[in-house]
């Protein structure tokens, strides 16, 4: 089948890539749903400042300081980075940029996501180590 | 290689939302028309995506890297005392609510609500709900913004 044949829009570069693209699509969707849920939770938490006064919000921040919540934050950063960088790939494809090198574009986007995640992970673990006696041992 | 695009059969299911356009290097209107969400949803999803990439990068780095370990009511007030962060956070609020709810709508439309009336009801419900959440978010931020 030629690349511009029927159904080409959903079948560019079928083969091994089709499997990888499927996983990218699924993870993109799962991360998106996680982020929508987080968005409403985030608005709810921030609004406690007005609902219950500033001390209510500050005690929520004290809770989020726990290593477990810092690790959950890291999971959230993973969802944001994967969703954002896969989204950049989609935007580029929509603009017709890099379609002939779409595997390279995907690889580059994921490389940026992994490097950024590494930066945030370093910050998160350094914070836990510096501010919590016993570091991650405090989780147990 | 021919650049002629063969029409999809009318009963074909819509492709995944991130289906790549054909290899002509130009946008094919049919790709947008085929997607269940309609042209405006498609376009606004991309516009809000750009707002979110720029805004979230600023928001996350300012809040969780530069102020790591210092988050508090007053620390938020420090940022929201500047017009720059008010613009960033309020546009993030609007863009994130639209992008999130429209994304959820696309998930729903992929599996359910094949009829026109149901889709319309979903859109109206989400617009009302999203507007209410935006109003609530603005209300929650107001003490910092107006300070």
Identify the pLDDT of residue B2.
45
CA distance B98 to B95: 5
Name the average pLDDT for chain B.
Answer: 83
pLDDT digits (tens, 9 = 90+) for A47-85: 999 999 999 999 999 999 999 999 999 999 999 999 999
pLDDT digits (tens, 9 = 90+) for A89-127: 999 999 999 888 999 999 999 999 999 999 999 999 999
- The tokens describing A114, both together, are 């992994």
CA distance B19 to A11: 8
CA distance B64 to A44: 18
Is residue B29 a part of any domain in this protein? no
Identify the pLDDT of residue A3.
47
- The tokens describing B109, both together, are 């439309």
| Residues on chain B touching A57 (C-beta within 8 angstroms) | 72-73
- Between B49 and A12, the more confident residue is B49
Is residue B11 a part of any domain in this protein? no
Give the residue numbers spanning the domain of B49. 37-146
Contacts 24+ apart (CB under 8 A), A135-138: A135/A67, A136/A67, A138/A66, A138/A67
How many other CB atoms sit within 10 Å of the CB of residue B40?
9
Is residue B140 a part of any domain in this protein? yes
What is the number of domains present in chain B? 1
Q: Is the ipTM of this complex over 0.85?
A: no
For residue A54, give the chain B residue with the closest CA.
B73
Looking at the predicted structure, is the pLDDT value of residue A8 above 80? no
How many other CB atoms sit within 10 Å of the CB of residue B143?
15
Using CA atoms, how far residue B47 sits from A87, B42, B52, in Å, is: 12, 9, 9
Looking at the predicted structure, is the pLDDT value of residue B97 above 60? yes
CA distance B123 to B29: 22
Say which CATH number the domain at B43 has.
1.20.1300.10
Is residue B70 a part of any domain in this protein? yes
Q: A24-44: buried (b, 16+ CB within 10 Å) or exposed (e) per residue?
A: bbeebbebbebbbebbeeebe
How many other CB atoms sit within 10 Å of the CB of residue B35?
20
Nearest to A2 among B1, B69, B141 (CB): B1
Is residue B96 a part of any domain in this protein? yes
Identify the pLDDT of residue A50.
93
Using CA atoms, how far residue A66 sits from A71, A131, A136, B95, B105, in Å, is: 9, 10, 10, 30, 34
* CATH numbers and ranges of domains, chain A: 15-133 (1.20.1300.10)
Q: What is this structure's pTM?
A: 0.80
Which one of A12, A18, A36 would you mutate to disrupt binding with B, by most B Cβ within 10 Å of its Cβ? A36
Using CA atoms, how far residue B22 sits from B2, B26, B39, B124, in Å, is: 12, 8, 18, 33
> Are B36 and B106 in contact, with CB atoms under 8 Å apart?
yes
Identify the pLDDT of residue A37.
97
Looking at the predicted structure, is the pLDDT value of residue B138 above 60? yes
Nearest to B20 among A6, A64, A93 (CB): A93
Mean pLDDT of A15-38: 87
Looking at the predicted structure, is the pLDDT value of residue B88 above 50? yes
Is residue B69 a part of any domain in this protein? yes
| Residues on chain B touching A7 (C-beta within 8 angstroms) | 8, 12
Identify the pLDDT of residue B69.
84
Identify the pLDDT of residue A116.
97
Is residue B99 a part of any domain in this protein? yes
- Percentage with pLDDT > 70 across chain B: 76
């Amino acid at each position: 089948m030629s690349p511009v044949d029927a159904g080409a829009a959903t079948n560019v570069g079928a083969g091994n890539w089709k499997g990888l693209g499927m996983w990218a699509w699924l993870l993109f969707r799962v991360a998106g749903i996680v982020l929508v849920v987080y968005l409403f939770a985030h608005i709810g938490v921030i609004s406690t400042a007005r609902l219950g006064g500033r001390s209510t919000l500050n005690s929520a921040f004290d809770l989020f300081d726990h290593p477990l919540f810092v690790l959950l934050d890291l999971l959230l950063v993973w969802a944001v980075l994967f969703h954002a960088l896969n989204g950049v790939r989609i935007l580029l494809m929509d603009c017709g940029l890099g379609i002939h090198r779409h595997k390279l574009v995907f690889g580059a986007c994921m490389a940026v996501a992994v490097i950024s995640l590494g930066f945030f992970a370093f910050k998160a673990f350094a914070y836990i180590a510096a501010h919590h006696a016993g570091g991650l041992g405090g989780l147990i | 290689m021919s650049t002629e695009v063969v029409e999809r059969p009318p009963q074909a299911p819509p492709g995944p939302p991130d289906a790549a356009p054909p290899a002509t290097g130009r946008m094919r209107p049919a790709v947008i028309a085929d997607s269940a969400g309609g042209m405006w949803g498609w376009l606004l999803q991309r516009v809000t995506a750009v707002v979110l990439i720029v805004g979230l990068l600023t928001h996350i780095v300012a809040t969780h890297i530069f102020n790591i370990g210092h988050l508090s009511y007053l620390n938020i007030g420090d940022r929201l005392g500047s017009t720059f962060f008010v613009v960033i956070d309020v546009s993030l609020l609007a863009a994130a609510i639209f992008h999130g709810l429209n994304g959820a709508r696309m998930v729903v439309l992929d599996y359910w609500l094949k009829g026109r009336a149901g889709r319309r009801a979903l859109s109206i419900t989400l617009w009302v709900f999203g507007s209410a959440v935006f109003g609530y978010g603005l209300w929650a931020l107001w003490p910092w913004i107006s300070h």
